[in-house]
Structure 1
Amino acid sequence: MGKPTSPVVDLNAALLLLLLAAVWGGSFFFAEVALRELPPLVITLFRVSLAVPVLLAVVVLRGVPITRSLRVWRAYLLMGALNNAIPFSLIFWGQTQIESGLASILNGTTAMFGALVAGLLLPDEPLRANKLIGAALGLAGVAFIMGPDALQDFNLTNLAQLAILGATLSYAFASVWGKTTLAGQPPLMNALGMVVCSSALMLPIVWLTHGVPSLAFQPATWGALLGLAVLSTALAYLLYFAILARAGAANLMLVTLLIPPFAITLGAFFLSERIGIQAFAGFGVIAIGFAVTDGRLFARLRQRR
């Protein structure tokens, strides 16, 4: 067996990984602020639509060709639904019932469920035992967070927690769809295509459910929407692809465990949120599930032995 890959390739990649965790962790905080004035679907629309001009400017400045292929744009349409419109809406609705920190902890199951779905659907990513065990531990962590009472007294809080899990499954299917249909496209064009198409999807949905959104928001709400769009979406995509090029997809998975500490800290300092010990224990089980799914930590321990 060769030497296992280092969890972080170099210092620059590590700093970029922390920055990505910060901006994605910040999305839960920004959403919590915006939810004080806006409904979840409207926040989703603004998050993706305000990110379009930023990513378009980056694509143009870097000379990335904008595809004219209808086949590719159809792929972007489904990718925009699976990776943006559906999960963002589910997470934002979930945050109307649970704390932002708890939402980020549940979102930490993304890597495990992503590996499980890929193992089931992609022939080049076989479903090995570690993926099944990791997913089982992820579900165990979620069950620990929800508690045994959820089976007897199911309420909106439990439904919100399931909504976050629904978002993680949507991300998992988006990953498979992207690998099978968009692997040959420029990464920045993929990011732009996703937000353009998810904006097109959200516009009629918001119009039908809430009418034409007003722009007369409080300054704090505008700040939160810009934070979601510019930092947690546009900048996050740029960081994502930079880390992917430097450290690879396996190391990029680490960000799912780094997001909750940022979200919990922001929620505690600025929103007076308090996460119970049960949630932290559940996060610990989820973290173990991630380590099992990833496999490199145990490979290192076996090598040392």
Structure 2
Amino acid sequence: MGTGSIAGRARTTMNASDWGQLLLLGAIWGGSFFFARIAVAEIQPLVLVLFRVTIAAVALLVYLGLRGPSIRLALPYIAPFFALALLNNIIPFSLIFLGQTELGAGLAAVLNATTPFWTLIVANLFTDDEKLTRNKLAGILLGIAGTAVMIGPGLLAGLGGPVWAKFALIGAALSYAVALIVARRFRVLPPPVVATGQLAASAVIMVPVVALVHGTSGLFAASPPVWAAVLALALLSTAFAYILFFNLVASAGATNASLVTLVVPVSAALLGMMFLGERLEAVELAGMALIGIGLLTIDGRVLERIRRKKDDTPPQFIHKSKGGF
């Protein structure tokens, strides 16, 4: 993995290596919903957040100790790291795990895929260089429509899990969106340092929170399969995934990296069906389709290729098509 700063010049297009990292990251983060669904069966959501961020932080500190760069680069940013920890780890992780006590892995991942839409709205309000375009606005509307399709039946008849659990996942997506604004000030730091700093701050926050809410008795009473899921969640879906993600942001840019949300719901749904016996309802599949179309619209490249093919159509072909045979 590269260790250059996020502030480095990113490409506007992705090469084969970038696409490989994107697909791998999507599979890993799709697996995070699968692992979390197993873990919340025996571990309280807040306790699971503590285990996830603490194990991941320790793993990343070891990584920095062996590979560098120095964690000392994070020292001038201690206070902002705590804000980033709250918005990018504590709040969304807690809401996601809470929602997953009632929702399946596939649906949870689909709701999490609304993050780019909320991010675009927040960025348009609070930044000068992330303004809305027609493609972005159309994508946001499609994404909101997809979310409404999935939540709507639950609002009317309580189908597919309780409404509060779905709103918990949407709240997590909103928290991630606000975290993007805070994270902009860390672009001068190497990606592994940013990942380690936010997870270490999250661990510091969660230790007293869990002690006050749950105490210390029974924290380690989970079964071996659940502990295996916790370790996979922390080491693979958190520590390694954050290094991979920030490396992708540094090389291909944040917009290209955000396309990972196209892969995450599919990965989570497949894992949920294969290992948890889950089945997505028709309305949830329809919502997933709308969200996918929205993300493609925001990216704009598919629409641009269609427009270019139309512009490159030979005049005689157009004439024959209009005149018939």
User: TM above 0.5, one fold?
Assistant: yes
Counterpart among 194, 198, 206 of residue 202 in structure 1: 206
Q: Give the count of matched residue pairs.
A: 299
Asked if the contact 1:5–1:296 (Cα under 8 Å) also holds between the matched residues in 2, the reply is no
- Residues 238-276 of structure 1: CA distance to partner in whole angstroms, max 9, x if unpaired? 211332344332221111010111111111111111111
Partners of 1:288 and 1:261 in 2: CA distance: 14
Q: Write the letter of the residue equivalent to 2:115.
A: T
SS of 2:200 mapped into structure 1: helix
Partners of 1:217 and 1:156 in 2: CA distance: 25
SS of 1:67 mapped into structure 2: helix
Q: Write the letter of the residue equivalent to 2:213.
A: T
Q: Write the letter of the residue equivalent to 2:70.
A: P
Asked if the contact 1:116–1:131 (Cα under 8 Å) also holds between the matched residues in 2, the reply is no
Taking a change above 3 Å as real, the CA distance of residues 127 and 294 of structure 1, as seen in their structure-2 partners, is same
Per the alignment, residue 172 of structure 2 pairs with: 167
Asked if the contact 1:79–1:174 (Cα under 8 Å) also holds between the matched residues in 2, the reply is yes
Asked if the contact 1:43–1:225 (Cα under 8 Å) also holds between the matched residues in 2, the reply is yes
Larger Cα-atom Rg: 2
Cα displacement (A) at 1:303 = 2.6
Give runs of aligned pairs for residues 53-202 of structure 1, distance below 5 A: 53-67=58-72, 71-148=76-153, 150=155, 157-179=162-184, 181-202=185-206
Asked if the contact 2:297–2:303 (Cα under 8 Å) also holds between the matched residues in 1, the reply is yes
Counterpart among 286, 294, 297 of residue 299 in structure 2: 294
Cα displacement (A) at 1:155 = 10
Per the alignment, residue 15 of structure 2 pairs with: 9
Asked if the contact 1:82–1:170 (Cα under 8 Å) also holds between the matched residues in 2, the reply is yes
* Identity of matched residues, %: 44
Q: What is the root-mean-square deviation in Å for CA atoms of aligned residues?
A: 2.0
Partners of 1:200 and 1:269 in 2: CA distance: 36
Per the alignment, residue 253 of structure 1 pairs with: 258
Question: Which segment drifts farther, 157-166 or 68-77?
Answer: 68-77
Asked if the contact 1:49–1:195 (Cα under 8 Å) also holds between the matched residues in 2, the reply is yes
* 2:30 paired with 1:25: yes
Cα displacement (A) at 1:204 = 1.5
Counterpart among 213, 216, 228 of residue 223 in structure 1: 228
Partners of 2:297 and 2:21 in 1: CA distance: 24
Partners of 1:245 and 1:182 in 2: CA distance: 12
Cα displacement (A) at 1:132 = 2.8
Partners of 2:137 and 2:19 in 1: CA distance: 28
Taking a change above 3 Å as real, the CA distance of residues 279 and 69 of structure 1, as seen in their structure-2 partners, is closer
Q: Normalized against structure 1, the TM-score is what?
A: 0.92
Counterpart among 289, 292, 312 of residue 284 in structure 1: 289
Asked if the contact 1:45–1:203 (Cα under 8 Å) also holds between the matched residues in 2, the reply is yes
Please, which runs of 5 or more residues in structure 2 have no aligned partner?
1-10, 311-325
Give runs of aligned pairs for residues 234-253 of structure 1, distance below 5 A: 234-253=239-258
Asked if the contact 1:120–1:127 (Cα under 8 Å) also holds between the matched residues in 2, the reply is no
Question: Which segment drifts farther, 36-45 or 112-121?
Answer: 112-121
Taking a change above 3 Å as real, the CA distance of residues 15 and 161 of structure 1, as seen in their structure-2 partners, is same
Cα displacement (A) at 1:26 = 0.6
Please, which runs of 5 or more residues in structure 1 have no aligned partner?
none
Q: Normalized against structure 2, the TM-score is what?
A: 0.86
- Residues 100-134 of structure 1: CA distance to partner in whole angstroms, max 9, x if unpaired? 11000111111222122112111111233333332
Partners of 1:83 and 1:290 in 2: CA distance: 21
Asked if the contact 1:115–1:293 (Cα under 8 Å) also holds between the matched residues in 2, the reply is no
Per the alignment, residue 270 of structure 1 pairs with: 275
Taking a change above 3 Å as real, the CA distance of residues 31 and 78 of structure 1, as seen in their structure-2 partners, is same
Taking a change above 3 Å as real, the CA distance of residues 246 and 146 of structure 1, as seen in their structure-2 partners, is same
Cα displacement (A) at 1:156 = 6.5
Q: Write the letter of the residue equivalent to 2:162.
A: T
Asked if the contact 1:59–1:188 (Cα under 8 Å) also holds between the matched residues in 2, the reply is yes
Q: Write the letter of the residue equivalent to 1:298.
A: L
Cα displacement (A) at 1:14 = 2.0
Question: Which segment drifts farther, 123-132 or 216-225?
Answer: 123-132
- Residues 165-194 of structure 1: CA distance to partner in whole angstroms, max 9, x if unpaired? 110111111111111x21212221110010
Partners of 2:201 and 2:178 in 1: CA distance: 17
